[in-house]
Structure 1
Amino acid sequence: MKHLSVNHFKVMGFTLLELLLVLLLIGLLAGMTLPRLSNLYDTFRAASEREDILIQLGGLGYKAYQQGKVFTLTTFPATAEEKPVELPLNLPTGWRVVAESPIIFRENGACNGGKLTLFYQENLSYKLELRPPFCQAHL
């Protein structure tokens, strides 16, 4: 019978040190990327909400026609000092619309157009133009 030494067997597997090093690297990468994923989600959510607001603004002329009312857009939602404005807008939390001059949506579906700014929380703002006669929103 032949005597086999340890050198004849091929040892398969990883050492504990190698496994710990790999886990450490995975942890470091996860620690660097997860906060950025949260910011990425917030950016996509804000862009989606902005697009929804643009669609709503573009439909205000039709809503004025449909309801037979005149809507005037100045600041929405109104500040504490201003009189609340009745508008069929449903802005997500943190958004605000401020027009440079009043934009009037008439009961025939037309509007006078104008420029406005969309504010999101304290850090983002978007300049928009509503072009007459139907006031489709353009960034």
Structure 2
Amino acid sequence: MRADFKKRYGGGKADTAIAKSLNKEFGPIMKEHMKYIIDHAEEIEKLIKVKAQVSEVKSIMLENIDKAVDRGENIQNLADKTENLREQAQAYKKAGTQIRRKMWYQNMKIKLVVLGILLILVLIIWLSVCHGFDCTN
């Protein structure tokens, strides 16, 4: 949402705007973002947990590297730990991408179901108004 806002109102436009003057234009966008967050709370929570795990692993690895330097471990061990951290980061990034794709597919499924329901409702209304498929009356 911040990126959308900066893209639309960056460069000082937001700083010079009158209070609540952007509500009409940006309000629906904010509403859409909030609806998406509410609809996908579980996936977002999983993504937050993954990010927290990445942060935890990163801080642990940084502590380990500091301790290793303090103890005078050789550079090869540090390189191995760094490679391990990089591999873990790639795994978490891949998991995040998979979650993002899953959320997109779920969102698309919901949109298709809603579209199908709307089409069925239109068909039912049409059939009731025309008394069947013959609508020459």
Give the structure-2-normalised TM-score.
0.32
> Which has a greater percent of helix?
2
Structure with larger RCO (C-alpha < 8 A, sep 6+): 2
> Which has a greater percent of strand?
1
Give the structure-1-normalised TM-score.
0.32
